[in-house]
Chain A
Amino acid sequence: MSQVIAFLDRLIGWIAAIALGITFVLLLYNVATRYLIQFGVIPPSVQLNWVFEICVFLLVWAVLLGVARIERRAQHIRVDFLYNQFGPKGQAAAELFALIFAAGVAVFFIYSGKLVVDDAILWDERSETTLRTPFWILYLALSVSFTVHLLFILERLRLLITTGESAKNTHFD
C-alpha cells in the first residue's frame, strides 16, 4: 500500500514538472517566433495561436495535482498556534478530525468535478482557438486530483491509526 502511494506521489510530481516544463518551452517559442517574424527571419505561418490555451490546460492539471502532493506532506498552510498547545492525545485527535474533514471536502469535489465533466461532454464545450479542444479534458483534472488527494489522506489516516505516526511536523522542502 505504502509503495503504491509513494509511486503515485512520484508520478504526479513528474507530471507536474513536465507540464510546467512544456509550458515554459511553449511560451519561450511564442516570444522567439514573434520577434523572428517581426524581423522577417521566418514566415508568419509558424506562429501558433493555441499556445496560451495549451499552457492553461497543462498548468491547471499541474496545480491541482500539486494540491495532493502538498497534502501528503502536510505542508498546506495552517494556523498552528492553538494546535501546538495541545498534548499528544489532543494533537492526534485534532489531526484525526482534520483528516476526516479533508476526506469530506475531497469526496465533495470528486463528485462535483464528475458532474462538471458530464455537463461539458453533454454541451460539447470546446475552446475558441483553432484546436477546438474539448473542455472536459481540463475539467477532469478536478476529480482526478482530488481522488489522488483522497488516497493520500486515507494513507495518512491509516498511519495515524495503526502507528500513531503523524505527518504534521514536516516543513517546506
Chain B
Amino acid sequence: METMILLALLAALILLALGIPIYLVLMGLASALLVAEGRTIAGLGQHVLDHLQSPILISVPFFILSAVLMQGGGLARVLFDAALAWIGWIRGGLAIAGVAATAVFAAITGSSAATTMAMGTLLVPLMEEKGYKTSFAMGLTAAAGTLGILIPPSLPMILFGLIAEESIPRLFLGGVIPGLMQAGLFAAYIFLVANKVGGKAEPRVSRKEFVNTNVHAFPAYLIPIVVLGGIYGGFVTLTEAAVLGVLCALIAVLFIYRSARLRDIPGMLTQAVDRTSVIVLIIMGATLVSAWIIKSGVPQSFAASIVESDMKPWQFLLIMNGCLLVLGMFLEGVAIILIVLPVVFVVVRQLGIDMTHFAVVMVINIELALLSPPIGLNLFVMSNVAGRPVLEVLRGTIPFFLIMLGLLMAVTFFPALSTWLPNLVLGS
C-alpha cells in the first residue's frame, strides 16, 4: 500500500507539472484510484455533493464577496491609505502599512486565498510604483495573506473544531496573539531590510490630511467592527456575520464612497461565486484523495505506533511539525486537516496537549503549506494576481517563510502563546 501511495504521488506530480489544474489532478486521480479499489461510481459523485453541503462552506462565498466588494469598490484602498497615514513615515512604511491593512482584512475574511487576492491586487502595483522590488512585494503580500486563517474568523479552525469536537470560540481566540505576533515580526523585518529592498519612508502627512484620511476611512473601519463586534460582542453567528459584512461593504461602496454602481453588483456576485468555486473544488478533490489514503490504513498505524512509543508532548509536536511541513508541500489546509486530524487528535488528548495549542500549531503549519512549493495556494494566487511567474513569488516569500518557522517554534514550545487569551476570556 505504501508503494501505491508513492506511485500515486509520483503520478500527481507529473500531471501537475504538465500544467493540469490542481482540482482536476486531485479529482481525476482520486476517482481512478477509488474506482480501482471497488468504490461505486455513484459514491464518488455523492461524496462531492455531500461535502458541498457543509454548513461551514455556506459562509465562504460571503467572506469572499465582502473581499471582492472591498477590493472592487476601493475599500481595501481606503483602509490602506489610513494605515499609511498612521505609520507611513516609518522606514519601509508603505510595506508596513500593507501588513497592517492585511491584518485588518484578515479579521474580516476567514480564508487566506481571499485575503491574498484582495490585498495583492492593491499592494503589489503600489509597492512597485514606490520602488520596492517586485519579488519582495509579492512575497510579503503572499505571506501576510496567510494571516487570513490565523487571525479570526478562520475557516480551518471551524473545520478543526467540528472534527475534534472542540469549542470554536476558544480556538478562534487562540489564534489572536500568534496572529498579531506574525504581523509584528513581519513589520520588524521590513523595518530592518527596508533600505535593501527599495522601501523609503513616505513623507509624514499633515495633521489636516491625517484627520481627513481617517474620517474618510471611518465607514471602512466600521466593517471590521461590525463583523468582529457581531461575532465577539455577541449578536450574530459566523455565517450571519459574513452576510452583515457584505451588507456594510455594499452600503459603503454604493452610498458613501460611491465607488461602485448598482449595475456593477451582479458582476461582483458572479466574481465572488467564481472565486469560491476555484477554492471549493480543490477542497473537494482533496477530500476525495483523503478518502483513498484513509481507507489504506496507513495513517492509523502511524497513530498506533506513536502511542506505543511513550513519547513526550514536545517530541510529538516536533515530529508533527516535520510531518505537516512535508505534507504541506503537496496538500492544502482543508486536506491536511481532513487527513491528519481524525488520526492524531486522539493521540493529542492522550499526551495531555491542550487542543487549542495543537489547533494553533496546525494552523501555522497550514499557513506554511500555503507558501511551500510545489503546491502552495498563496503562491499561485499571487502569481495569478500579479501576472508574474510562481518562482519569482516563491523567491520573495523565503524570508517571511523563515520568520513564520520561527513563530511556529515559539508557539510549539510556549503553549501559553495560544492558550493564555482563551483561558482569560472563557476560563480554563
Q: Hey, which bits of chain A sit against chain B, CB under 8 A? A: 13-14, 16-21, 23-24, 27-28, 30-31, 52, 55-56, 59-60, 62-67, 69-71, 75-84, 94-95, 97-98, 101-102, 104-105, 108-109, 111-113, 115-116, 118-119, 138-139, 141-142, 168, 171-173
Nearest B-chain residue to A78, judged by Cβ: B21
**Using Cβ atoms and an 8 Å threshold, which residues of chain B touch A75?**
274, 278, 384
What are 22 A-B residue pairs whose CB atoms fall within 8 Å in the complex? A16-B273, A27-B239, A31-B240, A52-B58, A56-B55, A62-B61, A62-B276, A66-B274, A67-B281, A69-B277, A75-B278, A77-B23, A77-B278, A78-B16, A78-B19, A78-B20, A79-B380, A82-B18, A98-B21, A115-B42, A116-B42, A116-B45
Q: Could you give, for residues 35-64 of chain B, a 1 whenever the CB lies within 8 Å of some chain A CB and a 0 otherwise? A: 000001110111011001101011001100
User: How many Å lie between the Cα of A105 and that of B270 in the bound state?
Assistant: 24
A77 in contact with B49 given A66-B277, A69-B274 (CB within 8 Å): no
Q: How far is the CB of B24 from chain A (nearest CB, A)?
A: 5
Which residue in B22, B28, B58 is a CB contact (below 8 Å) of A101?
B28
A20 in contact with B273 given A28-B247, A105-B31 (CB within 8 Å): yes
User: How many Å lie between the Cα of A81 and that of B280 in the bound state?
Assistant: 23
Q: How far is the CB of B386 from chain A (nearest CB, A)?
A: 9
Contact: B49 with A78, CB < 8 Å?
A: no
**Using Cβ atoms and an 8 Å threshold, which residues of chain A touch B28?**
101, 104-105, 108
**Using Cβ atoms and an 8 Å threshold, which residues of chain B touch A139?**
45-46, 49
User: How many Å lie between the Cα of A109 and that of B28 in the bound state?
Assistant: 10
Number of A-B contacts (CB under 8 A): 192
**Using Cβ atoms and an 8 Å threshold, which residues of chain A touch B23?**
67, 76-77
User: How many Å lie between the Cα of A13 and that of B24 in the bound state?
Assistant: 21
Contact: B52 with A81, CB < 8 Å?
A: no
Contact: B24 with A79, CB < 8 Å?
A: no
Whether a CB of chain A sits under 8 angstroms from the CB of B340 is: no
Which residue in A17, A19, A77, A84 is a CB contact (below 8 Å) of B384?
A77
Contact: A112 with B41, CB < 8 Å?
A: yes
Nearest A-chain residue to B277, judged by Cβ: A66
**Using Cβ atoms and an 8 Å threshold, which residues of chain B touch A171?**
384-385, 387
Q: How far is the CB of A32 from chain B (nearest CB, A)?
A: 10
Whether a CB of chain A sits under 8 angstroms from the CB of B381 is: yes
Which residue in B16, B117, B273, B385 is a CB contact (below 8 Å) of A79?
B16
Q: Hey, which bits of chain B sit against chain A, CB under 8 A? A: 15-24, 27-28, 31, 40-42, 44-46, 48-49, 52-53, 55, 57-58, 61-62, 65, 117, 236, 239-240, 243-244, 246-247, 266-267, 269-278, 280-282, 374-375, 377, 380-381, 383-385, 387, 389-391
A77 in contact with B20 given A17-B269, A63-B276, A109-B45 (CB within 8 Å): no
Which residue in B61, B278, B282, B391 is a CB contact (below 8 Å) of A81?
B391
Nearest B-chain residue to A139, judged by Cβ: B49
Contact: B278 with A84, CB < 8 Å?
A: no
Most buried by B among A20, A75, A95: A20
**Using Cβ atoms and an 8 Å threshold, which residues of chain A touch B48?**
109, 142
Which residue in A16, A56, A79, A83 is a CB contact (below 8 Å) of B58?
A56
User: How many Å lie between the Cα of A141 and that of B31 in the bound state?
Assistant: 19
User: How many Å lie between the Cα of A142 and that of B45 in the bound state?
Assistant: 8
Contact: B387 with A79, CB < 8 Å?
A: no
Contact: A13 with B270, CB < 8 Å?
A: yes
Contact: A66 with B276, CB < 8 Å?
A: yes
Which residue in A20, A28, A111 is a CB contact (below 8 Å) of B272?
A20
A31 in contact with B243 given A63-B273, A79-B375 (CB within 8 Å): yes
Nearest A-chain residue to B242, judged by Cβ: A27
User: How many Å lie between the Cα of A30 and that of B48 in the bound state?
Assistant: 28
Assuming A20-B273, A76-B22, what are 10 further A-B pairs, CB within 8 angstroms? A13-B270, A17-B267, A66-B273, A70-B277, A78-B21, A79-B19, A101-B28, A109-B48, A171-B384, A172-B384
Nearest B-chain residue to A172, judged by Cβ: B384
**Using Cβ atoms and an 8 Å threshold, which residues of chain B touch A67?**
23, 277, 281
**Using Cβ atoms and an 8 Å threshold, which residues of chain B touch A109?**
27, 44-45, 48
Contact: B274 with A70, CB < 8 Å?
A: yes
User: How many Å lie between the Cα of A146 and that of B45 in the bound state?
Assistant: 11
Q: How far is the CB of A61 from chain B (nearest CB, A)?
A: 10
